[in-house]
Chains A and B, each alone.
Chain A
Amino acid sequence: MEPIPAATAIAEVTPVETPPAASLGRRRWSRWLSNPGLVIAALVLAAIALLAIFAPLIAPHDPYAQSLDARILPPAFVDAERADPAYLLGTDNLGRDYLSRLIYGARISLLIGFFTMLVSGTIGTTLGIAAGYFGGRTDTVVSFLITTRLSLPVVMVALAVVAVLGGSLEVVVLVLGLLLWDRFAVVMRSATMQVRGREYVTAARAIGCSVPRILWSEVLPNVVSGLVVIASYEMAQAILLEAALSFLGLGVQPPLPSWGLMVSEAKELMLFEPWMIMLPGMAICVLVLAINLLGDGIRDVTAPEGRS
């Protein structure tokens, strides 16, 4: 049993005036709100998510509708003379509205990021907690799986599997999910190892709780804070990888408006119409940045030293 610090021991026996619940909740809120990076990231992410969910209501045009007499029109801020006010961010080489395609593209990125993170998170967390809790032979096997996974070149394997199975959203999610679980496993393994010896786990074992019950209601809740940070990081990673696969022609297939695919379709025109690669690239950048900053912010707020 760990020694209890004197201050805590005293606080436990001295009756202190407990603050009413409302003020405690408010104090917690103020801790979250006083982190500007976290607030901005959350707002940006919420805005992108709303755009994605309500894309059919918000997008001014059909993202797939081609218009041959409105091809490669620049946005007004790039070239006011050639711009058409009907197309706020211009049109691509098939005359499709760029703004509508960007808005629908958010759906692809968010869907792939979220579901990949669910798949990889489930695999990695299960393996990591099993390795950390049982140790011994289980741990050896999981370490072996992690090392094997790390030695596989992610982009190459993902490209090859998509080439064999075909590029659909489901295949990309499954491939990336099966490749990106390593960090979950590594972090969950060491977090579980720290929790394994705590009193509440020993107590649960002593009163005869089953192993699944201990893992589910004693171990998991106590390692979950680290999970949020990796989850955000891996979601960002999945979005970047999907964009790269689609850019290389072996991810999501045309005519779907994947941001990576949009950059790929515009790269031939890069010299004359640089805005065509700028806009989708910046969209990826903003989304990934928001997810990463949200993860960093949550880590800072939930870390014990952040609670001052």
Chain B
Amino acid sequence: MLRFAAKRLLLALAVAFAVSVIAFLLLRASGDLAGTLAGEEASPEEIERIRTLYGLNRPLVVQYGEWLLRSLSGDLGRSLFYPDSVAALILDRLPNTAILASFGLVIALLLSIPLGMVAALRRNTWIDRAALGLAVLGQAMPSFWFALLLIFFFGLTLGWLPVSGTDSLANFVLPAVALGWFSTPVLMRLTRAGMVEVLAADYIRTAHAKGLPVRVVLVKHALRNAVAPVVALASVQFGNMLSGSVVIETVFALQGIGYLAWEAISRKDFPVVQGILLVVALFYVLLTLVSDLLNAWLDPRIREG
């Protein structure tokens, strides 16, 4: 286990390093930083002065090293548009995205586990096919379009829920449904496959044979074993939601880091883009590391193979 953990940790560190290089290069590729910082009406002398002042004329490797050290101490630079620092902006918006993604994950699990279970229990009936059809259809819908449909029906036509902003928890319902919907098909298929496999196992037959109520067999014996891979995948899906929330947050004007990223990209405020990219990617690295270690701890076959 220790050997596996060490190897996995080393990979995570290498990936984190690669991600930081990509984020650093993205800002450099976005244009002449000194020119942007000096403003549009700056003279060439002023631009040169700023280039020297910020050390932008030094070799890239030196600049990267300095930037990395500063980023590690929590200083992600300043926004070109807002008066705040990038770190403050991200910290300000992060809770909204965290609420949205958690809410979305809960909705995805509440939809996918019962549906996947029923589909597995009633295999090859119309229920199974309907659930599968729903999953196929769900994967074919563009997320922004599905979000607009939710706004149209539940917001504008029925008037049940607010369609934009971040004022109350009700504002999070439609975005969370939109976000959770797109993780549902993959989680549902996995639940169904897991249940089908588990239901054929000997210990389920034994549990039935010793006269346990069906409900107990299904929930305590079958489901518990079938959802183990679902839980592992759910954590990865949570990471995907954090990064996939760009589209959903923008449609609903929800003040999270996804919306911040879109605003920053539209305004060419690349220090903010760089900061968000770094935070989201590192969070994903951490999440997959934890999920892999958890899986290996639960299932010895993974750490040996």
Residues of A within 8 A of B (CB): 143-144, 147-148, 150-157, 159-161, 163-164, 236, 240, 243-244, 247-250, 260, 263, 267, 270-271, 274, 277, 281, 284-285, 288-289, 292-293, 296
- 12 example contacts (A-B, Cβ-Cβ < 8 A) are as follows A147-B288, A148-B19, A156-B273, A157-B26, A159-B261, A160-B277, A163-B30, A240-B142, A247-B247, A263-B142, A274-B152, A288-B141
Q: Determine the residue in chain A with the shortest Cβ distance to B267.
A: A163
Q: Mark B238-249, 1 if CB is under 8 A from A, else 0.
A: 000011101100
Whether B212 sits at the interface, judged by CB under 8 Å, is no
B284 sits at the interface (CB 8 A):
yes
Give chain B residues whose Cβ lies under 8 Å from the Cβ of A285. Answer: 137, 140-142, 145
Of A151, A154, A247, which one neighbours B285 at CB under 8 angstroms?
Answer: A151
Given contacts A147-B15, A156-B246, 8 further A-B contacts (CB under 8 A): A148-B19, A150-B284, A151-B288, A155-B247, A164-B26, A164-B30, A260-B144, A281-B149
Chain A residues whose C-beta falls within 8 Å of the C-beta of B139 in the assembled complex: 236, 288, 292
* Bound-complex Cα distance A157 to B29 (A): 13
Question: Which residue on chain B has the smallest CB distance to residue A159?
Answer: B265
Q: A147-B15, A248-B262 are in contact. Are A270 and B136 (CB under 8 A)?
A: no
Q: How many residues of B contact A (CB 8 A)?
A: 46
Whether the pair A163, B266 counts as a contact (CB closer than 8 A) is: yes
Among residues 125 to 145 in chain B, which have CB atoms less than 8 Å away from a CB atom of chain A? 136-137, 139-145
When A151-B288, A164-B29 are in contact, do A263 and B145 touch as well, CB less than 8 Å?
yes
Q: In angstroms, how far is the closest chain A Cβ from the Cβ of B17?
A: 9
| Known A-B contacts A244-B247, A281-B142; A163 and B152 likewise in contact (beta carbons under 8 Å) | no
Given contacts A152-B22, A156-B280, A274-B152, contact A144 B285 (CB under 8 A): no
- State whether B288 touches A289 (Cβ < 8 A): no
A248–B145 Cα distance when bound, in Å, is 12
Q: A271-B156, A284-B145 given as contacts; is B14 within 8 A of A144 (CB)? A: yes
Residue of A nearest to B262 (CB): A248
User: Top 6 A-B pairs ranked by shortest CB distance?
Assistant: A153-B243, A281-B145, A289-B140, A288-B140, A151-B284, A148-B18
- The secondary-structure label for the interface of chain A is helix
Q: Say whether B136 contacts A289, CB under 8 Å.
A: yes
- Return chain A residues, CB-CB under 8 Å to B243: 153-156
- Residues of chain B touching chain A, judged by Cβ–Cβ distance below 8 Å, are 11, 14-15, 18-19, 22, 26, 29-31, 136-137, 139-145, 148-149, 151-152, 156, 242-244, 246-247, 250, 258, 261-262, 265-266, 268, 270, 273, 276-277, 280-282, 284-285, 288
Q: Is the CB–CB distance between B268 and A163 below 8 Å?
A: yes
Check B142 against A153 for contact (C-beta < 8 Å).
no
What B residues does A248 contact at CB under 8 A?
Answer: 144, 246-247, 250, 262
- Closest B residue, CB atoms, query A290: B140
CB neighbours of A155 from chain B (8 A):
243-244, 246-247
- The complex places the Cα of A245 from the Cα of B244 at a distance, in Å, of 12
Cα–Cα distance between A153 and B30 once the two chains are bound (Å)? 18
A152:B281 contact, CB within 8 angstroms: yes
Report the nearest A residue to B19, measured CB to CB. Answer: A151
Once A155-B246, A156-B280, A160-B277 are accepted as A-B contacts, the answer to whether A244 and B156 lie under 8 Å apart by CB is: no
Complex CA distance for A283 and B280, rounded to whole angstroms: 32
| B152 contact set on A, CB distance < 8 A | 270-271, 274, 277
- Cα A131 to Cα B52 in complex, Å, equals 45
Known: A152-B281, A292-B136. A144 touches B15 (CB 8 A): yes
Residues of chain A lying within 8 A (CB to CB) of residue B247: 155, 244, 247-248
Please indicate which of the listed interface residues A247, A263, A288, A296 has the most CB atoms of chain B within 10 Å of its own CB. A247
Chain A residues with CB under 8 A of B144: 243-244, 247-248, 260, 263
Measured between beta carbons, the chain A residues less than 8 angstroms from B242 are: 153
CA distance A153 to B262 in the complex (A): 13
Q: Which residue of B lies closest to A165 (CB)?
A: B29
- With contact pairs A159-B246, A160-B26, A270-B148 given, residues A243 and B142 touching in the complex (Cβ less than 8 Å): yes
Q: Determine whether the beta carbon of A284 is less than 8 Å from that of B277.
A: no
- Bound-state CA distance A155–B179 (Å) is 14
A135 → B minimal CB distance (Å): 14
Which residue of chain B lies nearest to A152 when distances are taken between CB atoms in the complex?
B281
Taking CB atoms, residues of chain A closer than 8 Å to B262 are 159, 248
Q: Is the CB of B148 within 8 A of A263?
A: yes
Measured between C-beta atoms, what is the minimum distance from B142 to chain A in Å? 5
CA distance A285 to B149 in the complex (A): 13
B273 x A160 contact (CB < 8 A): yes
Bound state CA distance, A68 and B268, in angstroms?
34
Query: Are A153 and B280 in touch, CB under 8 angstroms?
Result: yes
A160 touches B142 (CB 8 A): no
A249–B266 alpha-carbon span in the complex (Å): 8
User: Chain B contacts of A156 at CB under 8 A?
Assistant: 243, 246, 258, 261, 265, 273, 276-277, 280
State in angstroms the CA–CA spacing of A86 and B277 once bound together: 49
* Contact partners of A244 in chain B: CB under 8 A: 142-144, 247
Given contacts A143-B11, A156-B276, is CB(A150)–CB(B288) below 8 Å? Answer: yes
